[in-house]
Amino acid sequence: MRTHSTHRHSAWKRWLIFIAVAAALCMLLWTGWTLLRDRHIINGDGTLQSDTAVTIGVHGGPSSVDIRTEENAELEQVLLGNVYETLVSRDQDNALTPGLASGWKASKDGLTYTFTLRQHLKFANGHTLDSSDVVWSLQQIIQQNYVGADQLDGIAEVSNPDATTVTITLSEPDPTLPRRLAGRAGIVYDEEADTDYARQSAGSGPFTIAEFRPGVSITLRGNNAYWGSKPASSQITIRYFADETAMVDALRDGQIDMALPLDADTAQTLTEDPTLTVTTGESLNKTTLVFNNDADSIMSDSQMRQAVRYLVDTTAITQSTAEASQELGGPIGPLDPGYENLTDLFPYDLNKGASLASYFGTSYYGGGLRFVVSQRYAALASTIASQIQQGGVPVNVEALDDAEYQVRIDSRQFDLTLQREEGEFSAASYADPQSLSRYTDSQAQEQYQAAMGATDEQSYLDGLHRFARTVSEDSASDWLYSCHTFVAAKPRLVGYVTNMADRWLPLTEIALS
């Protein structure tokens, strides 16, 4: 009896041990699966943080992350302000704000700019960032002809009287210097760093490059040494896509949390998807009906240019075009310095346009205005042509593939074309006789040069106003609208910006809620 009881007790004991071991194994398996699912990643000190990793899809795919030498715009979009910081920064309305410099001031003659650095700045490797790094970086950009060097042509001397002060002396006034120092020309590099810039980083921003897969992805990890506010996400992976369809499929499948920038038609389609949030912002880009001002083009006559502007209903076009944000009336956009609303100069007026055009007579047009565009603008060109023809002006639209289109443009065989003018300095083309429009006007050129030679910010802006109004009144071209940016994201994603998202992508506040 005693022996039987001992056996039974021993069997129960072995059974309980088996259950305990099995439970422990199940717990380990569950924990391992959870870590794999939420390994969203290890931060700089080696601790695991769940739901702190974000993946963003963008176009392109750089072969190197050397921001000094790679002109790739997608690289600048991701690294500028996130990995590499600049002396001056900008907000989402493209207004200048403090960067590594807490402030700056110009001398009365506009020849000397003094920048005061923030206190306690450090690079991601722990090295101190001071004024000597700024001086060295500017010298390296110029001497090594890094990307952005052309924007520093006017610098005569750079000095640092103390650890937090940098003085830049110019050979002639340049009121755009602070704005240029908010781009690649203003990146501050670590003089002491021994870095393979093609695969690694040595910046002072809130992120560092944790992994780079050429043409595939860049993984950014929070910089524990960052002098400012820490990023909301410990890790952000930028995944590159060759085409938009693949990027959108990845977003819908949950492989990425956000996709940008998107084509207007794609964005419009995605608004019908309840699992996504589509938002719009303002771009620096503008869509312009460019006039050929060559002497042998009918558009070299200012009256003909004005007639076309009256005949083109830019208000209707803006309201009916998905990519259009704001109607324009001049060469300077709403996010550009010096913007002024000039849409009242040539409001749509069929009678006035037809009256101006009638001066030339039917025989003057020959086979009609040569309206040459790339295929992507075929529909818009057709709309514009119909509006112009209502004023009695014949128009011949040719929508060509990119290669053929470029041949026609280079050979100057067009009267009208549609172009996307990119960036905040695109208005400068109307002061350049060799630009696409070949517009030449001595008054406009003098006004632009006066603005660029201003010794203070207000004089610079006033000069741009005068220049833009002169160019618009003379109808150098017809600026139709500024462009939207489109971003699609999972509803849980917060903290992202939309203005200028096609150019710059601030990442510090992006996180999964």
Fold for 283-484, please state it. Dipeptide-binding Protein; domain 3 (3.10.105)
Distance CA 154, CA 181 (A): 13
**How far, in Å, CA of 122 to CA of 86, rounded?**
13
Q: What are the distances in angstroms from CA 459 to CA 154, 454, 511? A: 19, 6, 42
Give the tokens for residue 14.
């072995």
* pLDDT score at 5: 37
Interatomic CA distance for residues 175 and 350, integer angstroms: 41
Residue with the two structure tokens 């960036």: 423
pLDDT at site 10 = 46
pLDDT > 70: percent of the chain: 90
Domain 85-186: assigned CATH number: 3.90.76.10
Considering only residues 46 and 402, tell me which one the structure prediction assigns the higher pLDDT: 402
What integer is the mean pLDDT of 87-91? 97
Burial 402-411 (b: 16+ CB within 10 A, else e): eeebeebbee
Nearest Cα neighbor of 469 from 360, 340, 351 is: 340
Q: What residues does CATH 3.10.105.10 cover in the chain? A: 283-484
- pLDDT score, position 185: 97
| pLDDT mean across residues, the chain | 90
| Residue 486 scores a pLDDT above 60 | yes
Average pLDDT on 186-209 reads 95
Please compute the mean of the pLDDT values over residues 465-482 and round it to a whole number.
Answer: 97
Domain ranges in the chain with CATH number 3.40.190.10? 56-84+194-276+490-513
Closest CA to 207 of 110, 124, 275, 277: 124
Lowest mean pLDDT among 1-10, 53-62, 368-377, 382-391: 1-10
Residue 40: its pLDDT value, please?
35
**Could you read off the pLDDT of 316-355 as tens digits, one per residue?**
999 999 999 999 999 999 999 999 999 999 999 999 999 9
pLDDT at 215: 94
CATH number for the domain whose boundaries are 56-84+194-276+490-513: 3.40.190.10
CA-to-CA dists, residue 330 to 23, 276, 278, 289, 426, angstroms: 73, 36, 29, 11, 11
Closest CA to 256 of 289, 222, 217: 217
Tell me what percent of the residues of the chain surpass a pLDDT of 90: 86
Q: Which position has the higher pLDDT, 48 or 61?
A: 61
CATH 3.90.76.10 placement within the chain: 85-186
Q: Transcribe 182-197 into DSSP letters.
A: TTGGGB---TT----T
9: confidence class by pLDDT, cuts 50, 70, 90:
very low
pLDDT digits (tens, 9 = 90+) for 136-170: 999 999 999 999 999 999 999 999 999 999 999 99
Name the pLDDT band for 6 (thresholds 50, 70, 90): very low
Rounded to an integer, what is the distance from CA 341 to the centroid of its chain? 23
User: Residues 290-305: pLDDT tens digits?
Assistant: 999 999 999 999 999 9
Question: What pLDDT is recorded for position 79?
Answer: 97
Mode of pairing for the β-strands spanning 258-259 and 53-59: parallel
Structure tokens at 54: 């974000």
* Residue 431 confidence (pLDDT): 96
pLDDT band at 513 (very low <50, low <70, confident <90, very high): confident
Residues 6+ apart with CB under 8 A from 148: 141, 180, 183, 184, 185, 186, 187
pLDDT digits (tens, 9 = 90+) for 230-283: 999 999 999 999 999 999 999 999 999 999 999 999 999 999 999 999 999 999
Tokens 């312009």 identify what position? Answer: 288
Q: Mind spelling out the 3-state secondary structure of 1-51? A: CHHHHHHHHHHHHHHHHHHHHHHHHHHHHHHHHHHHHCCCCECCCCCECCC
DSSP 163: T
Asked if 486 and 264 touch (Cβ cutoff 8 Å), the reply is yes
Reply yes or no on whether the pLDDT at 19 is more than 70: no
**Which whole number is the average pLDDT over 5-11?**
41
